[in-house]
Structure 1
Amino acid sequence: MAACGENDESGAVVAEQQENDVLHVVGGKPLNGTIKVRGAKNFVSKAMVAALLAPGVSVLKNVPEIRDVHVVSDLLRLHGATVEWNDEKGILTIDATNVQLADVADVDTLSGSSRIPILFSGPLLHRLGEAFIPQLGGCNIGGRPIDFHLDTLRKLGANVDKEHADGIHITAPNGLHGAKIHLPYPSVGATEQTLLAAVQAEGRTELSGAATEPEIMDLVAVLQKMGAIISVDVDRTFRIEGVKKLEGFTHTALTDRIEAASWASAALATHGDIFVKGATQPEMMTFLNVYRKIGGEFDVTDKGIRFWHPGGDLKPVAIETDVHPGFMTDWQQPLVVALTQANGLSIVHETVYENRFGFTKPLVQMGATIQLYRECLGSLPCRFQQRNYKHSAVIFGPTPLEGRDIDVPDLRGGFSHLIAALAAKGPSNVQGISLIDRGYADFRGKLAALGADID
């Protein structure tokens, strides 16, 4: 009987977790009000890893309370660092004086929630001479192979053993040394890997074909504060002179331009008016140009950016995603929801992730007219040409959306589905909203503040 009771209790817990993972939305109401956006998910987690490079205390400000921050905090603790979190002020204090190898099973338990563990390689190799990287998780939006990461580490002198069933064992008994590295594609992750591994490698490292996103440049700023010597050329080449010693840093994270753009798209799709405190213009200029072409209005102030639908018809546009300074792939999905309400034919050519349009199926079921194509409907050179991926979308609007039950596929697609539910007529149940917690801090509280009808 005891065993039966335990199973009943376990089943009740699972049922409660599943129930809490559903957001009931009654759409058709404009989102109006003010919200605040903190530091960029794609920067904060990397700066936290960088703190491992220095035996001392680092302070990171403007940190959002998102799941990825909690995952990396736990990973840092597993490796011997202490992490203190002040949620009210958004301040993380990391003491990496004592670093140790973590238990493989413990790291593996956490790693399914994040792809961050691969970036621990460089700091752990410098501090301990070895690292273990488990199987990696992340959103299912297309191939994000770690081959670039491993090739970079090998060129810097690391020994990579992939024969372990649970992951990859990496060693550098003689330390890392500078190397000449070229990335065939400006991968953000591989660029971050090279920076974190090369700053204390002996000699000089030249990285060409690098990514230069604002989040990467903010990571460079952090590393420079720690004592690194890094120069950046206009041709996407980083030159890193290895140093023997790094110190802790104090740094305020740049604002999350993806979250800011997501709320801007929500304002457009729901005919709303949202002031995004903390949003900054320089990192969003490409998005703002497209937003204006569609017919959205915005006003840049010292405290943030106000986004609103001015009334009348929205205009169709043609967009091609690209690496910075192009139109960011993470901006594309929320904006597609708004484009279903534009008057005419819009085209979106996705050149970064081959499976990013999987999120459009529920939109079609809600009433949107979206057709996917394997052809490159754009002028940018594309890696996916003739590779059988449906990576171009044609959106015809305006089409009224009707509420329905939706399963969240990934972080950005999930927030896009949430926008669609908010714009749709009638009720929707959005299942799997915990995925959205990875990158959108307190999004339920923000929706409530904007007047959304949610439960």
Structure 2
Amino acid sequence: MDSIVVQGGGELNGQIPIAGAKNACLTLMPATLLSEEPLTLTNAPRLSDIKTMTALLQSLGAEVATMQDGKTLAMSCHSDINTRAEYEIVRKMRASNLVLGPLLAREGHAEVSLPGGCAIGARPMDIHTDGLGLMGAEIELRDGYLHAKAQGGRLKGAVIDFPFASVGATENIMMAATLAKGTTVINNAAREPEIVDLADCLRKMGAQIDGDGTSTITIQGVDRLNGATHPVVTDRIELGTYMLAPAFCGGEVECLGGRLDLVGAFVQKLDMAGIDVTETAKGLKVKRRTDEIKAVDITTEPFPGFPTDLQAQMMALLCTAIGTSVLEEKIFENRFMHAPELIRMGADIEVHGGNATVKGVGKLKGAPVMATDLRASISLILAGLAATGETKVSRVYHLDRGYEHVVRKLSAVGAKIERVSE
């Protein structure tokens, strides 16, 4: 099993290219099930989760090929397709549930195993199934599989009021609604950039969608969708992660492909902590204003609020701040599992339910630590960059699900980091 070893100390300077968004690409890929014509995605990230989604789509009868550049996915689903998404693949990744809506829309029936993914909370499927039920789907859970069938063989438009702004449910319903009969309105829809990216791709395929990026999305169903070529949007979570690197270590890093509109709430908190972010012709440039980081309070919220997927990284930074910070996690339960590992590095953190109080200690100490999930993995690596001595992060297989070439990207700006096999 691989580990990552980090030697703390030293500024970071240079450029880091930001990949296409994992969460956007995992949503865009199932859209190929909606059409018999080819769908090509450019700027795709090179991650294990993308390989898992590739395997799932291939098991359903889609053709998926990665082009020579490694960042272009050529997909087509022109033949008869299999409508059963097997447990052995689906269990590996939460986003696998996004084949449910497209399969129902195209074939009128589907059997999809309940999904897996990071251990950061229950994240039930009922908001997905309730929405599809309003569209005329009869769904029953049997033997760990969702057995779904559209009444009359085709979904129909409906008004769907989500109890909360679920990203996955918004995506699933959007894709299902593109081929449904009539108009579907999603109220309390998620507003994340990945939703807008999906809508942009679906419109290129001939879908009629309005309101993406707002809390009300309207989809007018069509009889068929065509193929398209679409670039995956920049990964705002990878962007935010690498923007934090010079905040930990000093120096100046330019994140290539970065956009302020993707990380607005995050940048506001960086400014409060004493970190400058400047827009450039190529992306975003980041540096500390002073040697000291100021304490700030963080509350995770759906977009455009502070993203839960940057909470762990921000907590690691605030461990070195002057003063006390309070972090409130309002998206997922069990998402402070990185706190005990940071405490091993000398952090002063107290966790009570969905709140964590972080008293800055000025400097962390290198230690052997264990990654518990994807974002915890990178937070411990960042903490190691600023700690005294050596930090060894084990169980980094989580990392491969969401960050491509971490060692290469950080080494290129001066980090002392290597991946070792044991």
TM-score band, normalised by the shorter chain? over 0.9
One of 394, 415, 424 as aligned partner of 2:357? 394
2:331 is matched with which residue? 352
Quick one: distance in 1 between partners of 2:100 and 2:321? 46
Quick one: distance in 1 between partners of 2:96 and 2:360? 42
Aligned-pair Cα RMSD in Å: 1.7
**Identity of matched residues, %:** 36
CA contact (8 A) 2:18 2:257 kept: yes
Give the structure-1-normalised TM-score: 0.88
Shift of 1:23: 1.4
CA contact (8 A) 2:106 2:179 kept: no
Matched, 1:120 2:108: no
Shift of 1:311: 3.3
1:101 is matched with which residue? 82
CA contact (8 A) 2:196 2:213 kept: no
One of 170, 194, 210 as aligned partner of 2:148? 170
Quick one: distance in 1 between partners of 2:389 and 2:315? 20
Matched, 1:424 2:391: no
Matched, 1:445 2:408: yes
Quick one: distance in 1 between partners of 2:253 and 2:375? 19
Give runs of ≥4 in structure 1 deviating > 6 Å.
none
- 1:235/1:27 Cα in 2 relative to 1: closer, same or farther (>3 Å)? closer
Matched, 1:216 2:179: no
CA contact (8 A) 1:262 1:331 kept: yes
Matched, 1:29 2:10: yes
Quick one: distance in 2 between partners of 1:103 and 1:178? 24
Gaps of 5+ in 2: none
Quick one: distance in 1 between partners of 2:183 and 2:27? 22
Shift of 1:368: 0.8
One of 115, 118, 135 as aligned partner of 1:139? 118
Matched, 1:411 2:392: no
One of 179, 197, 214 as aligned partner of 1:200? 179
CA contact (8 A) 2:83 2:110 kept: no
Quick one: distance in 2 between partners of 1:80 and 1:438? 24
Quick one: distance in 1 between partners of 2:188 and 2:115? 24
Shift of 1:112: 2.2
Amino acid at match of 1:28: G
CA contact (8 A) 1:367 1:399 kept: no
CA contact (8 A) 2:5 2:390 kept: yes
Shift of 1:87: 5.2
Shift of 1:57: 0.6
SS at match of 2:230: strand
Matched, 1:72 2:53: yes
2:137 is matched with which residue? 158
Gaps of 5+ in 1: 1-17, 374-389
CA contact (8 A) 1:99 1:127 kept: no
- 1:23/1:102 Cα in 2 relative to 1: closer, same or farther (>3 Å)? farther
SS at match of 1:120: helix
2:25 is matched with which residue? 44
Matched, 1:251 2:230: yes
SS at match of 1:162: strand
- 1:362/1:152 Cα in 2 relative to 1: closer, same or farther (>3 Å)? same
2:417 is matched with which residue? 454
Amino acid at match of 1:124: L
- 1:287/1:275 Cα in 2 relative to 1: closer, same or farther (>3 Å)? same
CA contact (8 A) 1:266 1:338 kept: no
2:41 is matched with which residue? 60
Quick one: distance in 2 between partners of 1:361 and 1:405? 12
SS at match of 2:351: strand
Listed as ranges, the matches of 1:311-326 within 5 Å are: 311-326=290-305
1:282 is matched with which residue? 261
CA contact (8 A) 1:32 1:451 kept: yes
Listed as ranges, the matches of 1:365-376 within 5 Å are: 365-373=344-352
Quick one: distance in 2 between partners of 1:76 and 1:235? 30
Shift of 1:102: 6.0
SS at match of 2:74: strand
1:14 is matched with which residue? none
CA contact (8 A) 2:296 2:326 kept: yes
CA contact (8 A) 2:84 2:111 kept: no
Quick one: distance in 1 between partners of 2:84 and 2:166? 29
SS at match of 2:30: helix
- 1:79/1:290 Cα in 2 relative to 1: closer, same or farther (>3 Å)? same
Amino acid at match of 2:209: I
2:280 is matched with which residue? 301
2:312 is matched with which residue? 333
Larger deviation: 228-237 or 47-56?
228-237
Quick one: distance in 2 between partners of 1:258 and 1:122? 26
1:83 is matched with which residue? 64
2:244 is matched with which residue? 265
SS at match of 1:139: coil
Amino acid at match of 1:77: Q
CA contact (8 A) 1:78 1:102 kept: no
SS at match of 2:39: strand
SS at match of 1:275: strand
CA contact (8 A) 2:180 2:221 kept: yes
- Number of aligned pairs? 417
2:170 is matched with which residue? 191
Give the structure-2-normalised TM-score: 0.95
